[in-house]
Amino acid sequence: MGTYGYVRVSSPDQNEDRQMIAMEERKIPKENIFWDIKSGKDFERPMYKKMLKRLKPNDLLYIKSIDRLGRNYQEILEQWRILTKEKKVDIVVMDMPLLDTRQGKDLMGTLIADLVLSLLSYVSESERYNIRSRQKEGIEAAKQKGVRFGRPETPVPEDFERVYDKWVAKEITAVEAAKMCNLKRSTFYHKAKLHKDENDG
């Protein structure tokens, strides 16, 4: 039976020390610890895939927390199924002792583990959703207070309306109009649309 560990951090500036220390405490060989610097968003994790190929029936896999397995509720459950049913390995979730497939191999133990997994996966996804909602609400509140996000708007020249009118009258092309305003053509189109909307309103 081989013992493995999987570590994932979402970005290079995140610290994986907490997860690595937990793996070392379980005396997992360093060559058996796989880790990715990938967000759960795209789930393209080369080391995770490499680890899956290495795992054999009755191997033991440690992860620090359940959200290391996937990006959302469905993904976590799917990876759990692949690991326990297809690969037939045992999993220990260190932050949640109830999620230890070595214990309770009977029907009741399996049922409890499945219920706890479903609950934790749902809670994990709900928390991420709540964080995104709070961020969105914060951004909306800031916008209402006049805080601007993204790149600053490109200013238009004082004679923009004159150039715009000549373009509308087809006296000049969009390329010429953009050049006269010292704007990119796409920016000129954008400004022209805003100008039209303001005047139509």
Active site residues: 10
Token duo for residue 118: 């479903």
Token duo for residue 100: 């230890």
Q: By the 8 A CB rule, do 40 and 75 touch?
A: yes
Q: Which residues contact 149 (CB under 8 A, 6 or more apart)?
A: 139, 142, 143
Q: Which residues contact 39 (CB under 8 A, 6 or more apart)?
A: 10, 11, 71
Can you tell me the distance from the alpha carbon of 129 to that of 9, in angstroms, rounded to the nearest whole number? 19
Q: What SS3 class is residue 144?
A: helix
How far does CA 76 lie from the centroid of its chain?
14
76, 77, 101, 105: which is closest to 89 by C-alpha?
A: 101
Distance between terminal CA atoms of the chain?
73
